[in-house]
Structure formats: C-alpha cells, structure tokens
Structure 1
Amino acid sequence: MDTVFRGALIDPALFHALSLVLALAAYNNLPNIEILTYRGELLNGLNTIMRKPGWKPKVSSITAMLMLISYEYRVDGANCDSIRAHIQGVQAIMNMCQAEDVTAVDQVQRALFWQDLISCLVLGTSRLLSHNCYQEFRNLRIVNVTKELPLGFLEVTYMWHMEFAAVVQDLTGLCTLVDKCDPTRTFIDELPIDDSQANIESRLVDLLSESRSSPACVDSIYEACIFATYLCTYNLSTGIWMGCFVPEVCVSRIIGCVTEAVHDPLWDSVPGLLLWLLCVSGGLTERKDVRKQVTVLIQSVFLLHMEGIHQDWHVCKGILRNYVWSERAMERKIFRVWKDLHPESSGALEARDELGPLWSCVL
C-alpha cells in the first residue's frame, strides 16, 4: 500500500484526513471539537503544500481531498456549491496529474466518480462526472439472460422517463445472474458485478437529478422508486461498501417520499408497488427502529391499501416478485419485515424452511 500511494502513510495531509474520517465514524457523523480540529489541520495542511513553489499533486494529497469532500457532504451538507467546487477542483488536479505524468492510480479516479455520484444522490449537487467517462462503467456485463420489465412496473413506468424502464430491465437481468450463481461459493469472486452496479446506479442518479430539476413537478412516488431501485442495486453485492451510510439514506428517502404521497390516488390502482417500496425500505435497513416504522405504515397509515396482500407470505412474495427482486440478495432480509408483521405465522414457515435456499455466502 505504501508503494502504491508513494509515501501516503507519512503524508501529513493524508494523516489528518484519516484522523478526521475515523473521528467522524466514532462520533456517528456528529461534529465536535476533536473533529473540527482535525478538519482545520487538514485544510491548513492542504493549503500549505499547495502554496509551495513548484508543487505537484500526489496521490496521497488527492486522497486527502476526497476524504475532505466526504466529510463535507456528511456534515456540511447544506453547502452544495462548496462541495461541487471541490469536486471540480479535484478533477482539475487529476487532469494536472496526467499532464505532468504523475502516477494517479485508477482507484483514485474511481473514488472521485463515487464522491460525485454520492454527493448528487444525498445532497442534490449537480453531476460532474458521468459513467460514460469511465470505460469500465460504460457497458453492462449482462449476457445470456433475458432482460424484461417486471410486470408491476408496466402499470406505472409509462408516466415516467423512459430511461427508468430501461434501467429496471438491466437491473432485472443482473438479478437473474445473481440468482443463478452457485450458492456454495462466494458470489463476488464468481461473478464480479461492481462495474455493472456503477453503471446502473449512475443512471439512476442522473434520473433523480433530472427529476429534481423541475421542483414544480415533483413526483414523490417516482423518486421513491428511484431510491428503492438504487438500494436494490447496491444490495446485490456490497463488497467494500459494506457498512456505508448511503443505503440508510435511501431507506429514509423512500419512507419520506411514500409518506409525502400518502393521499396520492395512484396507490389505489397499484397497491403492490406500495407494498414493494415499504418492504424494500424495511427489509434492506439494518435499523430495527426503521423496520418498526415500516410495520406501522403497513398496519396503520396504509391499512386500506395493504388489506389482503401481505397476510400470507407466499402471496406477499408473489407480489414483490412483480418488481425488482432477487431471491439471493433480498428474500431473507425482506422476510424480516413480514415476520414483524405476522410473528404468529413466521415460525411455522421457518420450521418448514419454506423461504427458499439459505444463501449463506457473503455478498
């Protein structure tokens, strides 16, 4: 690692950046004196080295800048213009690296892409970097599977941007590949899909950005579906992103959008879509309080819409399969929501092992 990053571990700026990130994690993203001290030292360190005559960027310096941007959208999220300017600045420095023939590893370039994407997803900053700028992200690696739009989405996607239907079709193909993998092997080694995930997630964030550009025509249900589809894509294989805060952001946005649309007449005609959104947000969160919130929404707020479609697990699962669904990545997690709704019935299902294959390998 020290060889790759050319002395990064003894670079003061990167040291302060790592200290900032670790302190931020320790205090659950809540700023305090210690965190602000590390931030000040990082800013001062970057300012000092960049003012030196003849300064040339190093990978370690760029990595420190990316960590600063990560801090900004977690803690200083209101200042979108500043974050956008810093991402543009890092991109300019990356271009300088290439012009000066300074080694910049591919991982740093990918990291900049993800900082830009996550900043747009979480805060609504404008996109600066497209997946089309990266050769490995341009094309999906989905072969020998039929890509079809799930039946449930046929009822609603005609109202939305046509690219959303195309993204869902691609994601459905990816889910099929995941479910075909050997359950006795580690999936990420058998079929690496991180580049395909990046392609789909980037296209979804582009759709979200476009939707936000017309605040007078906000469609909360459409945005909830974008966040839910992003969450399902992420969940197929978490890899190094295990424990990332982004899934919980998606969960919160799904619940928020669904709640905003509580009186939308569309739910009357597509209760299955509502069930899928709530089950995805409740099943793919790691927070028990959020799952409790989802059960309240199903049993109380949306009681009339949910009547008769979730009481039996097999009926419920059949409805969920009409949307984005992966047996391997989603079934056992979403069953937790149904179990909270029907604790008296779930034990018998588990005893008879009627939940399908127990996928024990790490995704």
Structure 2
Amino acid sequence: MAYLTAFVDAPRPISHMAQEFTFRDMTYFNDQRASIEYRILTMAGDEDKRQGMGKAQNVQGPCRLAALIYINMVFRELQPRAAIHTTLTSYLRAELMQMNLVSCSGNLGAVLLWILFVGGAVAVEEPIRSWFVSTLTLVCSQLELRSWHDTKGSLRRYLWSERIWEQRCKKLWFDVLDEQRDQLPY
C-alpha cells in the first residue's frame, strides 16, 4: 500500500504520451488495489486468538478496518461523510471497545495511535467522533505525545499520505488538545 500511496501522491505530467502511460499505470494500480483489498477482506478474523494474544493485543481486526478506511480515503478519495466510512468507523469503534486500551504501550500503542487517527479523521457522526477524540486523548497521554510534530512523526511510521491525512489528522489533534485542556482541574 505504501507503493500505491506514493503512486497516487506523485505529480503527473499532462502530455499525450504521459496520458497513455498513465492509463497503463492506472490499470496496474487498480489491479494492485483490488488485490490488497481482497487480502484484507479474506484474512482470518481470529488469527490473533489462534496465536494466543489477549484482547488487549488483538489489533488485527482494527488494523484491517483502518486499512480499508485508508484505501477508501487515499485510493478512491471518498469523502469522510461517505456511508462506507460511517459503517467502518462504527465497526472500528466496536472492535476497539473490546480491547483494554490502557495496557497498550510501545509498538502496540503506536499502531493503536495510527488506527485511532485514521478512524477519527473520517468519523463525522456523533457520538462516534467524540469517542475517537476521547480515546485519542487517553492514548496520546499514555504515549506522552505533546506536539503535533511528534504525533505526526509516529503516524508517518505507518501508512501516510500527506495530501489526504495532514489537515484531517491535525484538526483531530487540536480536538484532542481541547479535550485535554477541558480535563485540567481549575
């Protein structure tokens, strides 16, 4: 998916030859995207359970859902209000609520951060949006993330398209900061 993201984000020339080349590229791109989606959708849902991982570490399902959101945002450029995003963020929230998010730290915490930002960036309906902000507030606090720069650095370790995610995730970060300020005792 990182290769396809780079393909989508790369600037394209407009010449007649470039259009023909782009058509072939787009065919290859569409085949690869479909292959990735197929693999995501057909993964065994309980792989983590077979490997003996507990609920606190069972991130395969949330990762799959976040990857589908990512594909729809970056490769199809669907808007956050698209019905598929409402459905996927609802499922993502339900799966994450099954986890013990307090015990997620280290690499697991960083993956969880990416999952929450991807889901939260397209969650526009309440109460789902508020849940993502509240959960991100907790996770960012646990990971001791104090700035957008540090948070973005962590997110970029995973799948990232500057064009698609920068503004959406930055807005989400400011919502997290607002919630942190609201939680401070006066």
> How high is the TM-score relative to the length of structure 1?
0.39
Give the superposition deviation at 1:288: 5.2
Question: What percentage of residue pairs aligned between the two structures are identical?
Answer: 20
1:342 to 171, 177, 181: 177
Give SS of 2:160's match. Answer: coil
**C-alpha separation between the residues in 1 aligned to 2:130 and 2:87?**
17
**C-alpha separation between the residues in 2 aligned to 1:249 and 1:317?**
26
Contact 2:113 2:140 in 1 (8 A): no
Aligned to 1:174: 4
Matched, 1:316 2:151: yes
Aligned to 2:184: none
Query: 1:287-342 CA distances to partner (integer Å, 9 max, x unpaired)?
Result: 35422211111224x46524x22x21111110000111111222222222112123
CA 1:197 to 1:299, structure 2 compared with 1: closer, same or farther past 3 Å?
same
Aligned to 1:330: 165
**Residue type of the partner of 2:151?**
C
Matched, 1:250 2:88: yes
> How high is the TM-score relative to the length of structure 2?
0.71
Contact 1:278 1:294 in 2 (8 A): yes
Contact 2:40 2:64 in 1 (8 A): yes
Structure with the larger RCO, 1 or 2 (CA within 8 Å, 6+ apart): 2
CA 1:263 to 1:319, structure 2 compared with 1: closer, same or farther past 3 Å?
closer
Matched, 1:199 2:35: yes
Contact 1:172 1:324 in 2 (8 A): yes
CA 1:261 to 1:342, structure 2 compared with 1: closer, same or farther past 3 Å?
same
**C-alpha separation between the residues in 2 aligned to 1:314 and 1:214?**
32
Give the superposition deviation at 1:215: 7.1
5+ long unaligned stretches in structure 1: 1-170, 344-363
Contact 1:279 1:337 in 2 (8 A): yes
**Residue type of the partner of 2:3?**
G
CA 1:327 to 1:214, structure 2 compared with 1: closer, same or farther past 3 Å?
closer
Query: 1:144-190 CA distances to partner (integer Å, 9 max, x unpaired)?
Result: xxxxxxxxxxxxxxxxxxxxxxxxxxx011111122135x9xxxx96
Contact 2:48 2:60 in 1 (8 A): no
Aligned to 1:281: 119
Matched, 1:297 2:132: no
Indicate the structure (1 or 2) with the bigger Cα radius of gyration.
1
Aligned to 1:211: 45
**C-alpha separation between the residues in 2 aligned to 1:342 and 1:322?**
22
Aligned to 1:224: 62
**C-alpha separation between the residues in 1 aligned to 2:164 and 2:140?**
28
**C-alpha separation between the residues in 2 aligned to 1:282 and 1:232?**
12
**Residue type of the partner of 2:105?**
D
**C-alpha separation between the residues in 1 aligned to 2:115 and 2:121?**
10
CA 1:314 to 1:205, structure 2 compared with 1: closer, same or farther past 3 Å?
same
**C-alpha separation between the residues in 2 aligned to 1:303 and 1:236?**
24
**C-alpha separation between the residues in 2 aligned to 1:196 and 1:245?**
24
